[in-house]
Chains A and B, each alone.
Chain A
Amino acid sequence: MADQEINGSAAAETTRDAPVFVPPTDIIETQSSLLMVLDVPGADPDSLDVTLDKRVLRIAARSASSHPEGYTLQHAEYRDGNYERSFVISEPVDAAKIEAVFKDGVLRLTLPKATPAPTAKIPVKAA
């Protein structure tokens, strides 16, 4: 909820008449990077969209239809729809080296932490 309030995406609506799901996520911070694991079952790999705008990481995907031809739905526990979630990354990360791997319906993002700039020593001239 807090993620949505910050970037204001809660007020925006989708043009497609499809529900928007918030994928469950695991976030693990290691010494060198931030690992995010998102469950996006049935997502179309082409529709996966991961963007980092300043500090806001946004993940969006659309699930491909799972409708089998010639069959009628008898019992439904899940629906096709869109996946959307955004996070505010508090750590400085190296945006150029972010890796995203999609496998078996799980999106795995590795955000390497930015190496802190070496402390600059400023010589003071005595005038």
Chain B
Amino acid sequence: MLAYQGNAGRWFDPLRQMRLMQHDMNRLMDSLRVPALPEFPLMNIWTGPDGAVITAEIPGVSPDDLEITVHQNTVALRGQRMAEPVGEGDILHRRERVAGAFARSLVLPFRVDGDKAAATFRNGLLRLDVPRPDADRPRKITVSRS
């Protein structure tokens, strides 16, 4: 008599088949993810040997209302965008622009120097320069022939 082995063997095992089917179904369902809604603000991240540049599209937000914090390798951006005020008796035909408070935080693959970070805002585009600290920069090693 053959010894029964839990999850192997050629014998038809309905329980095992069910378990496999469940596993397959789970895998199928896992890939059916709904894509995440576009977040506000939209960001582009650029990196170089000196650090990173984060650009974000934040139209209609005054630079004074933006709060940017840099801590180790995390950059957080928060602010608020006001909805267009609609007065008494005014008719609102379209409202497509998003409004409200927003917050996004990014984790960079390296530490950044918060003291040297600089931000500029122009035409609704924020540019945040976050350089890497000098001690943490990649070093170029020259290979000498011996």
Contact = CB atoms under 8 A, between A and B. Distances in A.
The yes or no verdict on A and B being binding partners is yes
Interface of A: 24-31, 35, 37, 39-45, 64, 66-68, 70-78, 102, 104-106
Nearest to B60: A106
A-B CB proximity, top 3 nearest:
A105-B124, A105-B59, A41-B124
B19 to A, nearest CB: 39
Given A68-B127, A74-B45, A25 B57 contact: no
Contacts of B61: 104
B84 A105 contact: no
B87 interface: yes
Contacts of A43: 123-124
A86 B124 CA distance: 22
Given A66-B125, A66-B127, A104-B123, A41 B48 contact: no
Contact of A30 (B87, B123, B129): B87
Contact of A70 (B48, B59, B121): B48
Given A28-B90, A106-B60, A64 B123 contact: yes
B96 interface: yes
A68 B129 CA distance: 10
Contacts of A40: 59, 124
**Which of B43, B87, B96, B123 lies at the interface centre, i.e. has the most chain A CB atoms within 10 A of its CB?**
B123
Contact of A75 (B43, B90, B121, B123): B43
Given A28-B84, A31-B89, A66-B44, A106 B94 contact: no
B125 A26 contact: no
Contacts of A72: 46-48
**Which of A64, A68, A73 lies at the interface centre, i.e. has the most chain B CB atoms within 10 A of its CB?**
A68
B93 A105 contact: no
Contact of A25 (B46, B96, B123): B96
Contacts of B125: 41-42, 66, 105
